[in-house]
Every structure is written in structure tokens, then in C-alpha cells.
Amino acid sequence: MNLEHSIAALATRIRSAASITALTGAGVSAASGVPTFRGSKGLWRNYAPEQLATPEAFREDPRLVWEWYNWRRELIAKCRPNAAHTVLAAWSRRYPRFHLITQNVDGLHELAGTQDVVRFHGSIWEVLCWERCPGSPERWRDDRVPFEEIPPHCPHCSGLIRPGVVWFGEAIDPEVWTRSVEAASCEVFLTAGTSAVVYPAAGLIHEARSRGAFTVEINPDLTPNSGAVDLTIQARAEEVLPAVDSLLLS
């Protein structure tokens, strides 16, 4: 199917769907200037995310891990939502049973005005006490850019704070997991901008399929999930989503 037909096919599905769920990944923020994780451009000082985004890495070298997050926070603070975020935000307001699950921690979906974002991997703008000291809240927003000191310290116990994101080897928040699985029960489940290699997020599309959803992948590259979905649209999210939306509005 060529691109135009794929876009029309997705619009037709969405038009008649009672419920729609979108799962986004780093590729959706690429056009905003946020680097993706994988691929040579995603690397920071030659470290792969799996080497930095773990409790072990933090325990061993909190300064190194915070330098990476501080670099990402400084970069993201300058980024604005792109056309893909804007369309998904419009759908969250237009369709009563629309759900957005994002693996992105950048906050750009929220900035675009998306309602009830399910933050599968947390937020880079939140922090928590590494020691979980009794005086501190479970997590709190901290948008200082840059931090005056790295690694930054807990205002309650003077120990370290850590980013409010899910690291490799850590469990997804049970409430977030429940909301995500519930959202996988839908008529159209589309993923956009994810390499589909990080589980359990990558498994949600299979969950959706097994619950009868029509599944769609939007990504300029093929992923391990490409062969398993009903429709693969091999193009950029910030081009595909506005094109689908103009058909929906026509």
C-alpha cells in the first residue's frame, strides 16, 4: 500500500472507531529536536541508554547519570511540541474514548494540551529522594535548568535525588500499567515513533491485537513489531498524523 492509501486507511478506521489508543515513543519528539535513544545520533558521550538508565549506574556514578539527565533537561526545556503532538492533543479533546500512552519523559504531549497522558516511563521533570526519606513526598516536580550542583540533593534529608523516570530493571507503576492495559482494549491502537524493543511497552500492541484492536505502526523505519501489525505506515509521525487529521476534518 502506498503512503497516501495507508493514510486514508487509517483515517477511515479512526472515523468509525468508538475507541482509539496511541502509544508514542521518542520518534514523535524527534521533529521537536529531542534526540531519540537508539541510533548513532541518540548516543550521549558514547553511552547507550541501557548503561545510564539503571539503578546500578546511579549507585555507581550518580554524577555521570545526572550529567546525562541534566543535558537532556537543558535540551528539552528549549523544545516545543510539533505537529504530531498537536494532532494527538486535538484527538484527546475530540474523541471521548481516546487514550494516549507515552514512553516519552519530555512532557511535550502535556505542553501540546493532551488530556490524561499515561506517562509509562515517568517524567524527566519530576524527581524523588534516592533514599525515599520519610520527610519527602513520593515524587515532586523540579524544573530547575540547569541544577546548581550535580548531583542534586534532597531538600528534606540532604541525600541524593534521582530522576522521576523508570529505569531498566524497574517495574512500571502498577496504576500506570493497569491504565495502559485497559487502554489496549480499543478498536484502533496505533504506535508512533517507537523502536519497539523496550518491554513491557512494546508488548502493549500485542495486548491490543489479542483484544481485537486494529493495530497500526507509524515509523520511517521497520521495527520488530512491523510484521505483526495490521497496517505499517513507513513515514514520519509529524507528517502522517496531520495528513490523517485533515482527512478526518474534511
Interface positions with ligand OAD (CB under 6 A): 25-27, 30-31, 36-38, 42, 49, 53, 103, 105, 121, 165-166, 192-195, 198, 218-221, 223, 236-238
Smallest distance, Å, CB 103 to ligand OAD? Answer: 3
Percent of the chain that is helix, strand, coil (3-state, to 5): 40, 20, 45
- Whose Cβ is closer to ligand OAD: residue 154's or residue 198's? 198
Other C-beta atoms within 10 Å of 40: how many? 6
Nearer to ligand OAD, 156 or 168 (CB): 168
CB of 134 to ligand OAD, least distance (A): 27
Asked whether the bond before 35 is cis by omega within 30 degrees of 0, the reply is: no
Nearest approach, Cβ of 167 to ligand OAD (angstroms)? 6
Using CB atoms, what's the residue nearest to ligand OAD?
27
CB of 104: closest distance to ligand OAD in angstroms?
6
* Beta strand segments in the chain, E: 20-24, 98-102, 118-119, 122-129, 140-141, 161-165, 188-192, 214-218, 231-233
Q: Which is nearer to ligand OAD, 25 or 107 (CB)?
A: 25
User: 92 vs 103, which CB is nearer to ligand OAD?
Assistant: 103
Tell me which residue has cell 518491554: 199
Residue 56 and residue 64 in contact, taking contact as beta carbons nearer than 8 Å: no
Task: Report how far residue 115's alpha carbon sits from residue 90's, in angstroms, rounded to the nearest whole number.
Answer: 9
Q: Which residues are catalytic?
A: 121
Question: CA torsion sign, 207 to 87 to 103 to 135?
Answer: negative
Using an 8 Å Cβ cutoff, are 245 and 223 in contact?
A: no
